[in-house]
Amino acid sequence: MKEIKIEFETITPIWTGDAWGENSELKATAIMGSLRFWFEVYCHFAGIEVKEKEELNYKEFIKKRREDLDKKDFEILDEMGITLSSQIFGCTGWKSRIEIREIYFKTEKVNKNDIDFTFLHENEENDTEWWCDTILFGKRKYINAIKNIKVTFIISKFYLKDFRKFLKFYQNRAILLGGKKAFGLGFVKLKSNQNLNNIKLNLDNNNYVIWDKIENVNNKNVLGYNIKHYLRRKEDKKFRAKNFGKMSQASNYYFSSIVDNSCYIITFNNNDFILNKYKNWLSNNNNSPSEKAKKSSTQKNRKTTIDDLKNYLENR
């Protein structure tokens, strides 16, 4: 087994939750589940087979191992059709070949009063504050969020090269970790103690997932939910469920909370045209709500003044 240290560099706060909604701990299963998912995304790009469910016939595996003692376990698993993802992260009948030895993280408080809930919403009907207050904050003034995650893994030396390729692939890309992703939480980048300079990648599919970023969006703290809610309502009704998912269904588009005046986007929709359309909608509507409100109020007052003047002249 070889040791690897990985840092999940926080772009937006991470939510894992618990029975009380305190979000005060980080479970190893949450990290491993996310890593496996994003490893399989990498496999799609690299042309490596991925299966939804796998099961190893362990008796057959032991039989093959006894028949040829010179063969490595991974060679036998390859012959039996067990995918790389299941070989590393495990499946029914096969134990994971990567484990977590140590987890370190910090927590921070996200204050509800520091968030701009009116971003892109011109009236109360579109306001997202009620939903965020109810679902994310649970009627509290703040929530705990996790950041600065550092994990020490141990991994079988036979899979170290493949895992380094995985780390190389995500060097300049964000992944999602934890829950409340629709709110723009859990965007992180992977950093490791591995030297990846000489790692070469062979990618067959460059469009399975698209990463993008919008800069100069807004200088306030804005939840990704506000952005997603705005775009969903602006989109044609027949495409809303397709692009953003139905109730309790995963979305094809994830928008980070706005940090450093920027918004990160991850989309599984595999459609540059739609993504660029949404980017333009955001870029063209980044005036602050206060400016819109002032403009609307000025127009309304001006109309009222004209009407009053007409009434005065007619009834003079």
| Strand blocks (E) in 11-128 | 98-111
Q: Is residue 306 part of a domain?
A: no
Where in the sequence is the domain holding 114, given as residue range(s)? 2-192
The arithmetic mean of pLDDT across residues 179-199, rounded, is: 93
Q: Which helix (H) or strand (E) covers residue 6, if one does?
A: strand 2-10
Other beta carbons within 10 angstroms of residue 262's beta carbon come to 14
Contact between 250 and 266 (Cβ < 8 Å): no
Q: What is the distance, to the nearest Å, from the Cα of residue 186 to the centroid of all Cα atoms in its chain?
A: 6
Q: Are 60 and 97 found together in one domain?
A: yes
Distance CA 211, CA 6 (A): 21
Q: What does the pLDDT read at residue 138?
A: 84
Distance CA 218, CA 212 (A): 17
Q: Are 176 and 256 found together in one domain?
A: no
Q: Are 54 and 118 found together in one domain?
A: yes
Q: Are 53 and 13 found together in one domain?
A: yes
Q: Is residue 90 part of a domain?
A: yes
Q: Is residue 203 part of a domain?
A: no
User: Residue 147: is its pLDDT beyond 70?
Assistant: yes
Instruction: Tell me the CA end-to-end span of the chain in Å, nearest whole number.
Output: 95
| Strand blocks (E) in 11-141 | 98-111
The radius of gyration of the chain's CA atoms, rounded to the nearest angstrom, is 25
Quote the mean pLDDT of the chain.
85
Q: Is residue 139 part of a domain?
A: yes
Q: Are 184 and 216 found together in one domain?
A: no
| Model pTM score | 0.85
Q: What does the pLDDT read at residue 13?
A: 92
Structure tokens at 143: 């929530």
User: Residue 3: is its pLDDT beyond 50?
Assistant: yes
Q: Are 86 and 179 found together in one domain?
A: yes
DSSP assignment letter at 221: B
Q: Is residue 201 part of a domain?
A: no
User: Residue 283: is its pLDDT beyond 50?
Assistant: yes
Of 164, 192, 220, the residue that ends a domain is 192
Q: Across the strands, what pairs with 8? A: 149, 190
| Strand blocks (E) in 64-162 | 98-111, 142-155
Residue type, position 104, single letter = Y
Distance CA 93, CA 59 (A): 9
Q: Are 220 and 162 found together in one domain?
A: no
Q: Is residue 311 part of a domain?
A: no
Residue type, position 252, single letter = N
Q: Are 143 and 15 found together in one domain?
A: yes
Q: Is residue 261 part of a domain?
A: yes
Determine phi and psi for 233, rounding to 5 degrees.
-70, -30
Of 160, 192, 224, the residue that ends a domain is 192
Site of tokens 């469009």? 207
Q: Are 279 and 178 found together in one domain?
A: no
The arithmetic mean of pLDDT across residues 59-68, rounded, is: 93
CATH number at residue 53: 3.30.70
Hey, is 259 helix, strand or coil? Answer: strand
Domain count, the chain: 2
Q: Tens digit of pLDDT for each residue in 93-145?
A: 999 999 999 999 998 899 999 988 888 776 555 578 888 888 888 888 998 89
| Residues in the chain, overall count | 316
Q: Which residue, among 271, 267, 170, 289, has the nearest Cα to 213 in the 3D structure?
A: 267
User: Residue 84: is its pLDDT beyond 50?
Assistant: yes
Q: Is residue 302 part of a domain?
A: no
Q: Are 222 and 95 found together in one domain?
A: no
Q: Are 240 and 131 found together in one domain?
A: no
Q: Is residue 15 classed exposed, middle or buried when 0-12, 13-18 and 19+ CB atoms within 10 A define those classes? A: buried
